[in-house]
Amino acid sequence: MTEAVTNTGGDWLRLIVGLILVLIFSQLNALFLVWLERKVAGHIQLRYGPMEVGPHGLLQTIVDGIKLVGKELITPFKADKKLFVIAPVLVFMPVLVPFLVLPFGPELIIRDMNVGLLLIFAFSTFSVLAILVGGWASNNKYALLGAIRSVAQNVAYEIPLLLSVMSVVLMVHSFKFSELVMAQQRIWFIFLQPVAAIIYFICATAETNRAPFDIPEAESELVAGFHTEYSGMRFGLFFLAEYTNMFIVCAVATSLFLGGWHGPFGFSLGIPGVVWFLAKTYFLLFVLMWFRWTFPRVRFDQLMNFSWKVLIPLSMLNLLVTALVLKFV
């Protein structure tokens, strides 16, 4: 494909084909990730995980999804009806927009916007709002506590996340994903910015409310946190959004720190870029699931202190050192 096709402003065909592919991909991805999560959990605990439906339980999540659609949508008597209905819509609404700018391959960017990275961060913050609205509207103690914790956690980890990404932006001078990835043709940024990469990944884990930072939905104390009262497909939308968000944060990590569609040190080994990209992204997703069964859940004060007292000063320091080094190089 030529440069003209990649970057023209009015390429509607690309947009529509991309949209259809993204819709299919995001659903398949969520189905696959839920299956993978259960398999990884099973094998780490020396179990098999789902085995019955399909080969190695591969079709289990499809069956679960169909079952979920058939479930009753419960709205508790005292819940704030409007907000209660809006929350799952609000959480799922922004999850497909980041796919517009994610660089799956050299020619596989639907729209290579010059604010690509900012667009992703702007839309990913929606989910906090949705969690707050959902938890508040449920009229349930556990849901409210989960929502409050979630907001405090998400805002605390957003700052080091943005600061760590900024040190990469500083090196490339651009938010454009194609340029961010092209700059890593020779050497991946994880080798030049190891501190930023680690901070980013910790914060991404916290932002997606994954263990060990799954305090908003700590099942041993808060039942299911903010989505305690949700049932049927309303719960399903929270679930879908969570797994799509996991993919997005890992895809961003791949394109910012692991070279995107590039192979290691400029060797592509004849493997197409999109395969490299997806392989690295799914590896990171596997690591996220690995975390869950390796680290115990942190306490809330530890969580907040770790962000404000360690991650934020460290990421600021990393940014300043990056700026200083760039001035002298």
Nearer CB in complex with another protein: 12/267: 12
Picking from 232, 277, 273, 233, the residue whose alpha carbon sits closest to that of residue 251 is: 277
What is each CA distance from 227 to 24, 79, 94, 215, 216, in whole angstroms? 25, 13, 18, 13, 10
Q: Which of residues 201-230 bind another protein (CB under 8 A)?
A: 223, 228-229
Q: Classify residue 264 as exposed, middle or buried by CB count within 10 Å of its CB (0-12, 13-18, 19+).
A: middle
Q: Is 323 in the site for another protein (CB under 8 A)?
A: yes
Which one of 49-57, 249-257, 258-266, 319-327 is the stretch in contact with another protein (CB under 8 A)?
A: 319-327
Centre a 10 Å sphere on the Cβ of residue 290 and count the other Cβ atoms it contains.
12
Q: Is 275 in the site for another protein (CB under 8 A)?
A: no
Q: Which of residues 12-41 bind another protein (CB under 8 A)?
A: 15, 19, 22-23
**Per-residue tokens: 70:** 């058939």
Q: Which of residues 33-92 bind another protein (CB under 8 A)?
A: 68-78, 88-89, 92
Among 158, 207, 214, 242, binds another protein (CB under 8 A): 158
Q: Is 119 in the site for another protein (CB under 8 A)?
A: yes
Among 87, 156, 183, 190, binds another protein (CB under 8 A): 156
Among 97, 182, 195, 198, binds another protein (CB under 8 A): 97
Shortest separation between residue 86's beta carbon and another protein, angstroms: 11
Nearer CB in complex with another protein: 22/289: 22
Three-state SS sequence of the chain: CCHHHHHCCCCHHHHHHHHHHHHHHHHHHHHHHHHHHHHHHHHHCCCCCCCCCCHHHCCHHHHHHHHHHCCCCCCCCCCCHHHHHHHHHHHHHHHHHHHHCCCCCCCCCCCCCCCHHHHHHHHHCHHHHHHHHHHHHCCCHHHHHHHHHHHHHHHHHHHHHHHHHHHHHHHHCCCCHHHHHHCCCCCCHHHHCHHHHHHHHHHHHHHCCCCCCCHHHCHHHHCCHHHCCCCHHHHHHHHHHHHHHHHHHHHHHHHHHCCCCCCHHHCCCCCCHHHHHHHHHHHHHHHHHHHHCCCCCCCHHHHHHHHHHHHHHHHHHHHHHHHHHHHHC
Which one of 54-62, 118-126, 249-257, 275-283 is the stretch in contact with another protein (CB under 8 A)?
A: 118-126
Q: Which of residues 165-204 bind another protein (CB under 8 A)?
A: 166, 169-170, 173-175
Residues in the chain: 329
Among 41, 44, 118, 192, binds another protein (CB under 8 A): 118
Nearer CB in complex with another protein: 161/285: 161
Q: Which of residues 129-148 bind another protein (CB under 8 A)?
A: 138-142, 144-145, 148
Shortest separation between residue 200's beta carbon and another protein, angstroms: 14
Among 31, 33, 102, 110, binds another protein (CB under 8 A): 110
Among 62, 151, 275, 314, binds another protein (CB under 8 A): 151
Among 59, 63, 162, 198, binds another protein (CB under 8 A): 162
Nearer CB in complex with another protein: 40/249: 249
Which one of 56-64, 196-204, 251-259, 303-311 is the stretch in contact with another protein (CB under 8 A)?
A: 303-311
Among 5, 320, 321, 325, binds another protein (CB under 8 A): 320
Which one of 48-56, 252-260, 267-275, 306-314 is the stretch in contact with another protein (CB under 8 A)?
A: 306-314
